[in-house]
Amino acid sequence: MKTQILHIHGGNSFSRYNDYLDSLKTKTIWDPYGREPKTHWRESLKTAFIEDVDVFYPSMPNSSNAQYNEWKIWFERYFEYFTSNVILIGHSLGANFLAKYLSEEQFPFHLNGLFLVAGTFDSSGLGVEDCASFIPNPKRLPEILNKTNSVHVFHSKDDLIVTFEHALKYKKALPSIHLHEFTDRGHFIGSEFPEIIEEIRKIL
């Protein structure tokens, strides 16, 4: 039976709707005149595991101003496709979502692995894009450990969106997790991420 990987992408989430409206006035829009969109590393997961793994990366609802309850509904729609060999990856807000969901909700599967990339532990230092309802309850985070064989946190010390201190807070709250430290990856928005592929291969 094939292993399944589901990747949850990032997004923005605001506690105040007016902050979201203000962000629309200044947010960079994609040039409509012929530039190719940048490749994201999640796409390399399919090419790295052509025969061994089925990879899903669903488009989560309203990522410009995401709401946890909406993402929860959409995420649970995929349960009918899951088997007993599941790996979950969350990037940025997606990491927040998985940490919150797995620590606070019932999950009908035991994971082969959980990978959290550049996620926030709390709302400190985030400004108006404060992750709103996606911040997990730190007292409930240990519940994650009961639902997976291993937890990997990836964070870079030069991340200007989510500071490295958030990764250290995860390590303090969950000492048994594997913390992978980098110095030059920023918020992990490049096209290559060989280290996460290497760790997944160890699980397969």
Domain locations in the chain as residue ranges? 3-26+34-203
Q: Is the pLDDT of residue 35 over 60?
A: no
Q: What is the CATH number of domain 3-26+34-203?
A: 3.40.50.1820
The fraction of the chain above a pLDDT of 70, given in percent, is 96
Q: Is the pLDDT of residue 144 over 70?
A: yes
Neighbours of 194 (CB within 10 A): 10
What average pLDDT score do residues 167-185 get? Answer: 97
pLDDT tens digits, 42-98 = 988 888 887 778 999 999 999 999 999 999 999 999 999 998 889 999 999 999 999
Name the average pLDDT for the chain.
91
Query: b or e along 62-90 (b: 16 or more beta carbons within 10 Å of the residue's beta carbon)?
Result: eeebbebeebeeebeeeeeebeebbbbbb
Residue 69, pLDDT score: 96
The fraction of the chain above a pLDDT of 90, given in percent, is 75
Give Cα separations from 36 to 27, 32, 89, 126 (angstroms): 19, 10, 25, 30
